[in-house]
A and B are shown apart, each in its own frame.
Chain A
Amino acid sequence: MKIDRRASLTEALSTLRDGQRVGLGGMTLYRRPVAAALAIAAAGRRNLELVTLTGGLETDLLIGAGCVRHLRSCYTGLEVVGFAPHFTRGVEQGSLLITEETEYTLSYAIQAATMRVPFLPMRGDLARTDLLSVRPDLRTFACPLTGAPLIAVPALPIDVAILHATAADRHGNCNLRGQLALDPHLPTAAAATIVTAERIVDTETLRSMPGGINLSGLFVTHVVEMPGGSLPTSCMPDHRLNVAAVLDYADAAANPASWKLWLDRAIQAGAATETVQ
């Protein structure tokens, strides 16, 4: 195979436009594309719609950097560290639009996008909560076979999916470890997929890693070598979650001055990493 999808982070992210729908890989504080999120913040992207099963530090920093208009997730927080400060403030102040998802609604929506069907039917039981009152797009209909109430969950095609991988080859095949979240399913629902990887190795090495190749490079458009690209979130087996750094983040996000300082420093550190590459 000759296709070489390697790129710099700047090149890869130059395809991302304001207002696009971005799917973020990983889960809460595990294998999140933090370096990519910082690069998006540095590039000053605006009005993005983020899709993430659970939002964590990467989502919150993008909100804090003013990149996000709309968020779809079923949980956004910093787990043991507590509330995600920018997310919480954004919703409370009305500056961030939130689409209330559940684990199922997001799973169905991504699956429908992958299958290229307009919706997938979900059991109607969700009507016993208040979810439908804030999700007018989830329409109830009668099952044509049994007459039972069902909910149509609309497909959610993604413009750009961004994942951080344990390792990748130059074709974009990936080895993902730890929490897989929706990662193996985002590229088939997305028009473009950017992978940052702890390391780029040859295909044979990738195949021999625990878990082997569990994401095909077929739908990957760019692969960027980015050691530590998930920090301070985890990337098994190279990096454990750094809870102290997440606490620092939450402290910094508490007021505008300390937040600006945190963001500027993190962006500079990210730019320095890329220069070294």
Chain B
Amino acid sequence: MNDEISIAPVPASADLMLSHTHREQVDQMVATMSHLIQDGDFLAEGIGTFLPTAAYMLAKHTHAPDCTSLCPNGNSLMTGVRTLTLGHDEFDTVPGATIWLDYQQINLAYMPAIFIGGRPRWTEFMRPAQIDPMGATNNVCIGPHARPRVRLPGSAGIPDASTVAQRFYYYSPRHTRQLFVAQLDFCSGAGHPGAAAGNPRCVTIVTNLGVLASGPTGRLRVTQLHPGVTREELVEQTGFELDWADEVTISTPPTADERRLLDTAIDPLGLRYLEALTGAARRTRLRALAEAYLDE
């Protein structure tokens, strides 16, 4: 982890409102997610989820050039790479699309064919608000559904996809006891069915501390620790008893080449770091980015 490699024009850590440690964690997550992508994958992007989108672009730049992206900002199928923007992706994705679809074509044709037909291999990293030991998730509410303590934006397509796809990926830049809970407040993403029939057969979660994936019983177990993270740290930040893989590996850190691609071609504004920010820091950083766009 060498500071001199991250060169301009990426803003300094102070401008990103992010500590060096958190910044390194974000780039580690991007590299780890990128390494989970296989060439030829169908990569479905979220909107404003810069972290996985950076990972998709990194994979396409390196070992997986033949992936096709589904860019929801424009609903375009797109090969090739692009630079991340703050909400202006449709201006790149629609003109660069191989085909441009509406949501009925996506939901009534492409997604069922891909999720259930199983071809091409689909990879998408979703961000949940809660995850339980079987890898089931919640993006709907904290507290009772009828009168929640916190209403979350909603589950979008996670209920549709998680119940039929064989593999399901999540990510979170904040591995905490609030995220990993023994009991969900609401299940909007199906977890591993255990001994029963059904999907997903494997849930994988990339966090700022490591990687968890469904074990033989369906319960999540830690398979990877990011460099410098201890087992104790992970246990401390998880709200249920953790299983461990027989061999827990250490994640491969981003290479100098991967860092250079991220900082120059993929995300020179450092949008991927926004996802690790909360509260006033996030607000300040977002305001600065938004005002910079207006001045363009």
Interface residues of A (CB under 8 A from B): 27-30, 53-54, 73-77, 79-81, 83-84, 87-88, 91-92, 94, 100-104, 107-108, 110-111, 123, 125-126, 128-131, 134, 177-185, 210-211, 234, 236-237, 240-244, 247
Interface residues of B (CB under 8 A from A): 47-48, 72-75, 86-88, 90-91, 94-95, 100-104, 106-108, 111, 136, 140-141, 145-160, 162-164, 186-190, 193, 198-199, 274, 283, 286-287, 289-291, 293-294
Contact of B286 with A92 in the complex, beta carbons under 8 Å? no
Contact of A237 with B290 in the complex, beta carbons under 8 Å? no
Which residues of the other chain, A, contact B111 by a CB distance below 8 angstroms? 103
Contact of B48 with A80 in the complex, beta carbons under 8 Å? yes
Q: How many A-B residue pairs have CB under 8 A?
A: 166
Closest 5 CB pairs of A and B: A77-B153, A125-B163, A180-B102, A107-B107, A103-B157
Which residues of the other chain, A, contact B289 by a CB distance below 8 angstroms? 243
Which residues of the other chain, B, contact A54 by a CB distance below 8 angstroms? 154, 156
B90 contact from A77, A101, A126, A236, Cβ within 8 A: A236
Mostly helix, strand, loop or mixed at chain A's interface?
A: mixed
Contact of B160 with A104 in the complex, beta carbons under 8 Å? yes
Smallest CB separation, A37 vs chain B (Å): 19
Additional 8 contacts, C-beta under 8 A, given A102-B157, A130-B145, A182-B103: A74-B157, A79-B87, A100-B140, A102-B160, A107-B107, A182-B102, A240-B293, A243-B286
A84 contact from B91, B153, B186, B199, Cβ within 8 A: B153
A75 contact from B107, B155, B291, B293, Cβ within 8 A: B155
Which residues of the other chain, A, contact B86 by a CB distance below 8 angstroms? 80, 243
Task: Report how far A268 CA is from B75 CA in the complex, Å.
Answer: 34
Smallest CB separation, A123 vs chain B (Å): 7
Task: Report how far A84 CA is from B188 CA in the complex, Å.
Answer: 20
Contact of A94 with B147 in the complex, beta carbons under 8 Å? yes
Smallest CB separation, A64 vs chain B (Å): 15
Q: What are 28 contact pairs spanning A and B, CB under 8 A?
A: A54-B156, A74-B156, A79-B48, A80-B48, A80-B86, A83-B152, A88-B151, A92-B147, A102-B159, A102-B160, A103-B157, A104-B107, A104-B160, A123-B163, A125-B199, A126-B160, A128-B190, A129-B188, A130-B188, A131-B188, A179-B73, A181-B102, A182-B103, A211-B100, A236-B74, A240-B88, A243-B286, A244-B290
